[in-house]
Structure 1
Amino acid sequence: MIADSNTHARNASALLTGRNLATLKKELTLKLRPKYLRHNIWEDDDYFSKSSAGWSETAKPLPQIPEAELANPVVPKTIAENPHLFDIVTPINVDCFEKLLLSHPNQSFVKSVCRGLREGFWPWADTHIDEYPDSLDLSFPIPDDIDEAQFLHDQRDHEIFKGRFSEAFGDKLLPGMYCMPIFAIPKPHSTDLQMVTHQSAGTHSLNSMIPHDDIVGYPLDNLRHLGEFLLSMHRHNPDTPRVLFKSDVAEAYRLLPVHPYWQIKQVNCIDGLLHVDRNSAFGGRASGCNWISFMSLVSWITKKKRNIELLATYSDDSFGPEDANNITWYQPY
């Protein structure tokens, strides 16, 4: 049977042109690479992998606190009766931050991050799953180790000074409160200590309230991006001396406030006294996602508003190559 039609099939080879062909080539090349190299083999072109800044242009908005949480009669009563324990604390100038993002193409995402900075971030949690208790105390006693006990004491004082911990309110939890264990461990490759909030402790932990599927897909820039930057810089300015820089954000997650309805779950016990933790904890399951979201917008501002295109961001570290002649040293360096 012969079809009687003027419809013509598109030439398959015509589909493999331009960017499609480049993408296919990259996919094929990737399959041929040894697995241990991952993406750390680079092409000789000006193609840049999508960075966290680029991801922000299509990212989904961060969640608001669900209506079911707002309808919980226990939590708002405790907050209303103890307003001095709960606060939104951040050094970030949200109005300035938002103004710099007026031309960002993904305004729903921008507004969700700015809302988190103003009202506190919600960590995707469902506090009503299964038969979780309204209040739970899993705190550890005062450490026997004198150095650890003193460190936690000093860290508590620092957090109160910063406004991120409330003043002590006694040794008994109020309705709706959770208290997870805290302890100190040495920092990697150091004898200095760091405080750990164990939000995964127990069968009714805070982290177990946060569905894993809701907090995946938040990207970190990496060596693949750095390699592309270096090759591009060398390609366009082969004789220019270069340096690598890295800028670290001090205290990182702690700069982001959490919603008061989550603050009430972040009570810490130190020296036998209780304090509400008002900001993102390093042991929180969603803390990294909220931080990556915020930093993706910081990176976008840096690239689009300050024209620092060769910049990558890995959590609280921003890094990239620069012309060695552009260095300005500051004290004490």
Structure 2
Amino acid sequence: MKTFFSEDHRLHFPQAELSGGEFVTPYERPSRIEYVLARLKERKFGEIVAPGPIDMGPVRTLLDPGFLAFLETAYDEWKAAGQGGEVIAAGMPTRRQRHDRIPRNIDGKVEYYCHASETAITGGTWRAAQSSMASAQAAQREVANGARAAFALCRPPGHHATSDQYGGYCFLNNAAVVAQMFRDQGAGRVAILDVDFHHGNGTQDIFYRRGDVLFASIHGDPLDAYPYFAGFADEMGEGEGEGANINVPFGPGTAYGPWAEALDGVVRRITNWGAEALVVSLGVDAYKDDPISFFKLDSPDFLDCGRRIGRMGLPTVFCMEGGYAIEQVGLNTVNVLEGFEDA
């Protein structure tokens, strides 16, 4: 299995995140990727390839053009307005406020396009987000050309980004664009399986009213975990998308037994639904010692998780998402990939 990866991810390294009432070094940081790369090399797990430039065509067909323009220019606008530091939202539109007009002022634009203020934009964020998407696109092309699977070592991650908002460390929704690429190239039905601890609210939002892309997520109960306002079991899609959205939330302390049982159930539904290609939002923050999660999966469990996914036998693209127990993120990520290959 080839891994697609860009060194440009380093250009996105915010110096602060608001967490627990104080500014801390962001949990989503460049060193996460170093541990994954080190483990890939240690295990001699296939070739690591630079992705080439992003193709904005598929991105523009799925994501809001105003949002893309904002991401490209936000930092420069912020600086031109005399703002210091990094671009951080001070608030967001609330209930019963207007959502139909985009402010001219950069402060207002940031609040309009952001849904989580822990996520900062730096001078290198746009280029890093593009390189992350380029890795995902390269992995999709590898699979579309006949490979059984490919791994996009994406950073920044993507599954919390909607078609017109960023947050949760995410700017461009890599998994969503990969799924759309499969559809554009002739796949009748595509499934996205999100195993990140946090619900992929952005991916759900993008496909919620579509019946050609099934989204399935196993995650922390939104009553207890970010993103809090999406990911409930009764969110099953609307209109043409009714029945093509599957959420399996679990509470604090969930161990691998019930989690794996839920995964098997989701796998059966994806298979019965008739998916022709699979995109995996590969977060490993369900790990027992992750600092911002509360599941209790251990490292060998990720190996078994990969086997269960691999048994579907579908052309598969893995897109890296979360995982913040820094020293274990490489082991846990590669365990999933090796389990998949074992299957």
Please classify the TM superposition score into its range, dividing by the shorter chain length.
under 0.3
TM-score (norm 1): 0.21
TM-score (norm 2): 0.20
Query: Considering only CA atoms, is the larger Rg found in Structure 1 or Structure 2?
Result: 1
1 or 2 for the larger relative contact order (CA 8 Å, sep ≥6)? 1
